[in-house]
Amino acid sequence: MAEYDAVFIGSGINSLAGGALLAKAGWNVCVLERNDYLGGAIKTSTDLTAPGFTHEVFSSWHPLFAGSAAYGELADDLHRNGLEYLNTELPTGSVFPDGSSAFLTTSLEGNVAELDRHAAGDGAAWERQFNEFMANADLSFGVLGVELWSGQGLSLGIKAYRRLGARGLLEFTGRGLATCRDWVTATFHSDQAHGLLAPWVLHTGLGPDNAVSGFMTQVIACAVQLGGMPVPRGGGVTLVDALATVIRSAGGELRTGAEVERILVSGSRATAVRLSSGETVTAGQAVIASVTPTQLYGRLLAEWEVPRAAWESARRFRYGRAGMQIHIAMDELPQWRGDERLPRTAIVHLTPGLDGVSRAVNEAERGLLPAEATIVAGQPCAVDPSRAPEGKWIVWIQLQDLPAGRVRGDAAGQIDVGDGTWTETLREAYADRIIVRLGQQITNLERSILKRVVLSPADIEALDCNLVGGDIYAGSCALDQNLLWRPFPRSPGHATAVGGLYLIGASTHPGPGLGAGSGYLVAKELTKPPLPKRLLARLPGRR
């Protein structure tokens, strides 16, 4: 008898949500985590900067989880166990070097007025785009929510064909391939609208000149208007704790400090894992690995246990641009230059505009520190005031346009990058550049910093080994490694060539973010009723 029905490797959002769904379906679940905390890229810290400040070390914003199928099913359990979402009507804005700014709110009328403020007609263009998107929102969200390489994916395609016809479907798909640049410039006149929307494409791991980035920008813009920018009261740890409680309450177990070093295969089936301590943990139904394909095929499985082609594809799996986090505890509330809405906005992008976003991505892709990065200035206290003592403030800064691998130089020609490794000196020098720019918009920033903590790409990888090279999205999201092709065409979806072994996590479809999509899809696959029962359920008069 195996000790558990399912063993999860890693405790990121996909494992925790998948584990909670399996546990609720009666499975005996075990989650094994190598770190000394649960949650992976959800890590809330109260001792990062100064007493009374609660920081999200990595992920901070939960629109993807709050809009997810997993949350749809688990919400009651999670709320009972302490999770509470707070939200805002001012989810995002961009501020430009001349001090002007543009905002995306949770109101359609508000957004029409805001976009018209910059160029007459842009408001109507947004309304048209939004309505067009919503007419087929089930298809667009479906692409990002179903197992594409499966009967589910086929059903989605048939539904699209029936609704749109052959030519319509071809047009719909073709439009979906467009770049963000092509979409925003064809739709809106003002530079402010372009500069408001383009930075969001970075949050999907793409750049504004990549294929499908236009589709991703539309999805995000519509989702932000519909769902705002929710955060859990008190931090992401409350979501992690609530999911862990669901698993424990059903008799499951979660262990930290438990590094899996090998998946044990018997008769072409994964039956157990071996920890680095030498202990073996057995799984009767499934081993579900929330790791990178590189780790799965290069370390956890032996070469002879998987088809050569899958092994070689995994070796070619590419990691994308790196990220940096800068955490700031401020002794005062921020004094933003310009629009009075800026201090109330959850996420403000600092950018010269569409071309600036594109230039910084291009510099990073050529191995350079961007001269003018797109700065993501998150203000968690604008949504959840409990994160800092009264009268004080947190700025959660994210940079998503740093070189993958060694840094080859500085596009501004100012910073000596040494041998290109992320030393403390290089990390702090680059952070200084960012703080100086942000200080031009938040005029009291520099004088009121109580403490700043910077995480370089190397620091990020050290905290979560799935974020290889500091790639915060655990694998390049370029089209050839996205959607149907994630993690790679030889092994699309989540089942692997080894029976009972599934690969989930940000490196797999539907990709990075807190949407818990891969954990959800695998849990549903494992608990779906047998085929005869499903067919019977489709008979007329049956539900």
Ligand X SMILES: Cc1cc2nc3c(=O)[nH]c(=O)nc-3n(C[C@H](O)[C@H](O)[C@H](O)COP(=O)(O)OP(=O)(O)OC[C@H]3O[C@@H](n4cnc5c(N)ncnc54)[C@H](O)[C@@H]3O)c2cc1C
Q: Using CB under 6 A, list all residues that contact ligand X.
A: 9-15, 32-35, 40-42, 58-61, 64, 259-260, 290-291, 295, 323, 325, 398, 460, 464-467, 472, 474, 505-506, 512-514
Q: Rounded distance, CA 487 to CA 469, Å?
A: 17
* Block residue for tokens 């929710």: 230
Least distance (Å) between residue 472 CB and ligand X: 3
Q: What is the dihedral of CA 202, 186, 359, 341, to 10 degrees?
A: -60
Residue type, 156: L
Nearest residue (CB) to ligand X, 116 versus 459: 459
Helix axes 151-176, 213-227, angle to 10 degrees: 100
Least distance (Å) between residue 218 CB and ligand X: 18
Count of CB atoms situated within 10 Å of the CB of 404: 19
Nearest residue (CB) to ligand X, 242 versus 472: 472
Query: CB of 330 within 8 A of CB of 439?
Result: no
Nearest residue (CB) to ligand X, 487 versus 492: 487
Residue 241, classed as helix, strand or coil, is helix
E strands along 81-196, which residues? 85-86, 92-95, 101-104
Least distance (Å) between residue 119 CB and ligand X: 30
Least distance (Å) between residue 59 CB and ligand X: 3
Least distance (Å) between residue 71 CB and ligand X: 12
Nearest residue (CB) to ligand X, 59 versus 210: 59
- Shortest CA distance to 198 belongs to which of 337, 350, 367? 350
Nearest residue (CB) to ligand X, 213 versus 398: 398
Nearest residue (CB) to ligand X, 372 versus 471: 471
Q: Rounded distance, CA 322 to CA 402, Å?
A: 5
Nearest residue (CB) to ligand X, 320 versus 505: 505
Q: Rounded distance, CA 268 to CA 266, Å?
A: 6
Nearest residue (CB) to ligand X, 179 versus 295: 295
Least distance (Å) between residue 288 CB and ligand X: 11
Query: CB of 474 within 8 A of CB of 468?
Result: yes
Q: Rounded distance, CA 467 to CA 322, Å?
A: 9
Nearest residue (CB) to ligand X, 58 versus 188: 58
Least distance (Å) between residue 219 CB and ligand X: 13
Q: Rounded distance, CA 33 to CA 289, Å?
A: 11
User: What H or E segment, with its residue span, contains residue 376?
Assistant: strand 375-378
Least distance (Å) between residue 394 CB and ligand X: 14
Q: Rounded distance, CA 359 to CA 370, Å?
A: 8
Least distance (Å) between residue 475 CB and ligand X: 10
Strand 92-95 relative to strand 101-104, pairing: antiparallel
Query: CB of 410 within 8 A of CB of 75?
Result: no
